[in-house]
Each structure stands twice: as C-alpha cells, then as structure tokens.
Amino acid sequence: MSLNHLRQHWATLIIYGVLMALILASSVASDVFPTSRNFNNLIRQAVALGIVSIGQTLVLLTAGIDLSVGSVISLTTCLTTGLIHGRGDLVLPVIALVIVAALLIGFCNGLLIVKTQVSPLIVTLAMMSVVQGAVFLYTKGPVGELPPSFSFLAWGKLGFLPFPVFTLATVAGFGVILQKRMTFGRYLYAIGGNEEIARRSGINVDRIKIATYMLCSFTAALSGIFLSSRMGQGDPLAGERYMIDSIIPALIGGTSLTGGKGGIVGTIAGISILTIVNNILNLLNIETYWQWVVTGLIVIVAVACCGRAKT
C-alpha cells in the first residue's frame, strides 16, 4: 500500500482502528459480548440500520439528505404484513408492490428537489409527513401477519452464519461497487463537490439526483421488509428512529453533510460502531438515556474530525 494511498484513506483507516479497539474493549468489559449468541444478536440489530444507512450515504454524497426514510420503512412494514396477512402465495407480489411504492416516493423526492430547488431537508421532511400520515390512515396499531417461511429472512441461518449477514453483505457490496467502480459513483462525488461544475462538465445532475433518492427509498423498503420478518407484524412507528439514525453511521464513517466526501466503506464501520456501543451498554445495564448521550458524543466527535479533515 503506497504512502499516497494511505494519505487518501487515513480517515477510514482510523475509524476501522477505532472499531477494532471497541471490539477488544467490549470483549474485556463483558464475557457475554464475544459469544456466538451475542454475535447473532448484533447482526440482526445492524441489518435494518445498515441497509438504510447505505442508501442514505449515497444521498449525503450529493450534499442531500433524506428524512423520509423512516416513514418509508413504517409504510413498508405495515403494507407487507397487512397485505400478505399470512398467505404465502402473496409474498412475492406484495414485496414487488411495496418496492415500487418506495421507488415512487424516492422519485417524487428527487423530482421535487431538482425542479423546485427547495432544500432536500424541507422536501423530504414534508414527504415524511405525507407518508407517515398515510400509514396512520391505513392502521394505527400493529397489523397483519406473515407466513412462517418469511421469518427465515430475519431468523434463518446458512451454515453457522445467520442469513441477515448475507443480506447486509449483498447490499453493502453492491453499494461499494456502485460508488467506487461505476460512473454513477463518480458523478455522486462530482455533484457533492460542486454541483454547478458537475453540470457544466456534462453530467445530467437532475437525473443522477432523482436516481439517488430512488435508491435511498429502495434501501429503506428493504429495511422495512427485513423488520417485517423480524417482528412478524407491521408497526406504523417501526421506522420512526431511522429518520435520524440512518444518518449517524455515515457521519461516524466520515461522510460529510456538505457532500463529496466519505463513502459506504466508512459507513459500514459506523454501523458496526453504533451497534456495538448500544449492545455493550445494554450488556452492562447502562440506562437508555446514557446510550443517547454516548451516541450524541460520538456523532459530535465524528463531525468535528470530519470538518477538520476537510479544512
């Protein structure tokens, strides 16, 4: 590995060093932490957050943000369980339907942002309100049920590994390839770095932005489908926490809120750090309120370091 390569990726290397140190410290702090049972628990906790955070990272690279992902997750869980309602023959049609619905929401987000030039924060916050309201019109409490086979998505195993490992790895792998090996990924950095220059360079900025918000909503739908399998029922508030939580791993991993910096590799480390911190604090019986404090401090440090690196 060349010195130049190390300089380019020092922030990512540091965040993975922090992750390794956290794993060692957690193993010392709790005998339960390094067990296979806890590993399975960690994976299942990380998957829903991980998938939607990968989509959020792509949006952040363009200097955008998507606050509607939480409501998309809630919509997806409720529609999946409510429409399937225990019937195995409806699984594939319903999953296709909820994914199309999510893509449509992402398309509307992107279209409104590029056509009105209104801040993504405002547009996606408004879309969150619209979608969440629609969810509550559909149901105000837990709804539906799933066939037993559907639980494999969250609780199944392939060999000795929980199946969710492969789900998260597939989404992360595709995201990294999209970001690093495809022209689309280079366009994301160009738009986030300077949108006007990107436009003058011949990049169809509007089309890329719309596609990025559609991808973000798609990952939110995948998270919702996974949560449906994990919970067995739809919950109209299932995605509430992900509106903000989906941004935190990207920030911890070095992705900038101003765009053009960071990426999915760092976000994966951020997901792992956030999941492990919450897990070890639970194992040590630390109050939830302290978990919020610790998470907030981690984000502040990550954003401060990211800001210093950029200057």
- Residue-wise pLDDT for 245-269, tens only, equals 899 999 988 888 888 888 999 999 9
Query: Would residue 178 count as lying in a domain?
Result: yes
> Is residue 225 within 8 Å of 95, Cβ to Cβ?
yes
Q: Does a structural domain hold residue 259?
A: no
Q: Say if 144 falls within a structural domain.
A: yes
- 100 lies in a domain? yes
**CA–CA gap between residue 35 and residue 28 (Å, rounded):** 12
Q: Where are the beta strands (DSSP E) in the chain?
A: 157-158, 161-162
Q: How far apart are CA 68 and CA 182, in angstroms?
A: 26
The Cα angle at residue 125 between residues 196 and 130, in degrees rounded to 5: 125
Q: Is residue 277 part of a domain?
A: no
Quote the CA–CA distance of 11 and 309 in Å, as a whole number.
8
Q: What is the pLDDT of residue 61?
A: 96
Is residue 304 domain-resident?
A: no
Residue 13: per-residue pLDDT: 80
Q: What is the mean pLDDT of residues 25-32?
A: 91
Count up the domains in the chain and report the number: 1
Q: How many residues does the chain have?
A: 311
Residue 161 DSSP SS3: strand
pLDDT band of residue 311 (cuts 50, 70, 90) is: very low
Res. 8: pLDDT tops 60:
no
Residue 162's DSSP bridge partners are: 157
Q: Does pLDDT of 305 surpass 70?
A: no
Query: What average pLDDT is seen over the chain?
Result: 89
* One-letter amino acid for residue 260 of the chain: G
**Average pLDDT of the segment spanning 279-303:** 81
In a domain, residue 308? The reply is: no
More confidently predicted of 97 and 15 = 97
On the question of pLDDT at 181 being above 50, the answer is yes
pLDDT at 91: 92
Q: CA-to-CA distance for 289 and 310, rounded, in angstroms?
A: 32
Per-residue pLDDT, averaged over 271-275, amounts to 92
Retrieve residue 266's tokens. 């760092």
Q: Is the pLDDT of residue 225 over 80?
A: yes
- The per-residue pLDDT for 4 is 52
Name residue 143's beta-bridge partners.
234
pLDDT score recorded for residue 178: 93
- Which pair of structure tokens corresponds to residue 150? 């559907």
Residues 70 and 241: beta-carbon distance below 8 Å = yes
Average pLDDT (126-133) is: 96
Query: Quick one: tokens of 171?
Result: 């989404």
For 72-115, write each residue's pLDDT tens digit. 999 999 999 999 988 888 999 999 999 999 999 999 999 999 99
Q: Is residue 71 part of a domain?
A: yes
Q: How far apart are CA 259 and CA 89, in angstroms?
A: 43
Per-residue pLDDT band at 208 (split at 50, 70, 90) = very high
Domain extent for 60: 32-243
> Can you tell me the mean pLDDT for 6-30?
82
Average of pLDDT values for 112-119?
Answer: 94
149 and 23 in contact (C-beta within 8 Å)?
no
Residue 296: its pLDDT value, please?
81
Q: What percent of the chain has pLDDT over 90?
A: 63
Neighbour tally for 301: CB within 10 Å: 13
